[in-house]
Amino acid sequence: MDNNRLATRNGASRFLAVGMLMAVVTLAACTPNQQRAPASDAVGSTGPALAVVPPGQLDYYPAGEYLRNGFPAVPPMTTVHFEQGVLIAQRQVSQAEYAECVRDGACKPSEWADQYSGDAAANLPITGVSWRDATDYAAWLSKKTGVKYRLPTYAEWVYAAGSAYIEDTLMEEFDASNPAQRWLAEYKLETQRKKTVDAVLRAFGGFGTNEFGLEDVAGNVWEWTDTCHVRQYLDVGDALSFQGSENCGVRVVAGAHRSYIPDFIRDAKSGACSVGVPPSNLGFRLVRDLGAQSTGALLSQG
């Protein structure tokens, strides 16, 4: 399998470097002092400041568990077309913003609510929240603003992450009769993942800004997505057999590496992550649901 895969953004091409040990995102690709695009003003949104990710195509390896003859397998490359583009929050939801939802009775206090206070709460991401908490917040904000917000899908998150995203799926095929080969490769991968930055929160922008204006993508706050965990069985030729299953009680979280967390868990380090290195923190950012409109149509209304 070719370890260099082509991903296209708005008609321009870039290569995703993929391999066995690419667990830690190269944050140097981000530009910490890049100026934010005033997307939220342009679209007249009363919600979070939004980054505009233009229409384009994403080629990526989908999340989930893929098996061939009972052994883990590399998922087939999947292509997603974003004909409308993506409007996604420039930063994660802050502690102060989430606290407002709690005061309104629409959200439950976070796992670490007693640690959030003062001016710092407006400059730090909310953590210690579950997928259920995040969707409650999205529903509350949508009702408050009259604009529909939701969690991104995993594909939307990868597309918006741009150069901050590096695939860390095991790309090599292994001899099924010698499972030790894969165990050793997975051990090396998990060792690299343990080198991920520590869990101490940084003020917004502390992990840089990517080319689309998103702050702190793949920093030390893993972000809830709306994508469910799936298990699929591959037949000969890598075609999906579609004889798998979908478990929406477990959601994909995206960060320096992707993980799968039950939707009610607020602290992955407590043992919720059954396989691999758990995320340092659980938080979220929202996308504005475009519905039938494109980013271009929304911007033209500004």
CATH of the domain at 204: 3.90.1580
pLDDT of 87: 97
Residue 38 has pLDDT above 70, yes or no: no
For residues 87, 92, 98 and 99, what is the CA-based torsion angle, rounded to 10 degrees?
-140
**What is the per-residue burial (b if ≥16 Cβ within 10 Å, else e) of 64-95?**
bbbebeeeebbbeeeeeebebbbbbbbbbbbb
CB 14 within 8 A of CB 252: no
| Pick from 63, 254, 51: nearest CA to 165 | 254
Q: What is the mean pLDDT of residues 246-271?
A: 89
| Least confidently predicted of 28-32, 38-42, 145-149 | 28-32
Give the model's pLDDT for residue 66.
Answer: 83
Q: What is residue 133's DSSP assignment?
A: H
Rounded distance between C-alpha atoms, residue 273 and residue 224, angstroms: 14
Confidence of residue 71 (pLDDT cuts 50, 70, 90): confident
CA dist 261 and 228 (Å) reads 10
Containing structural domain, residue 54: 4-300
Identify which has the larger pLDDT, 196 or 245: 245
> Which are the contacts of 64, defined by CB distance < 8 A and separation ≥ 6?
75, 229, 230, 231, 232, 244
Q: How confident is the model at residue 174 (pLDDT cuts 50, 70, 90)?
A: low
Torsion sign across C-alpha atoms 148, 152, 155, 160:
positive
**Degrees to nearest 5, angle at CA 185 with 179 and 186:** 90
Q: Is 280 exposed, middle or buried (0-12, 13-18, 19+ CB in 10 A)?
A: buried
* CA pair distance 208, 204, nearest whole angstrom: 9
Q: State mean pLDDT over 99-104.
A: 94
Looking at per-residue confidence, does 179 or 70 come out higher?
Answer: 70
Q: How many CA atoms lie within 13 A of 302 on its CB side?
A: 14
Alpha carbons within 13 A on the beta-carbon side of 30: 27
Give residue-wise pLDDT tens across range 262-298: 999 999 877 555 455 778 899 999 999 987 666 655 5
**pLDDT averaged over every residue in the chain:** 75
Mean per-residue pLDDT for 20-42? Answer: 31
Question: How high is the pLDDT of residue 75?
Answer: 82
CA distances, 239 to each of 34, 83, 218, 232, 245 (Å): 42, 25, 30, 10, 16
Domain count along the chain? 1
Which range of 7-11, 29-33, 51-55, 116-120 scores highest in mean pLDDT? It is 51-55
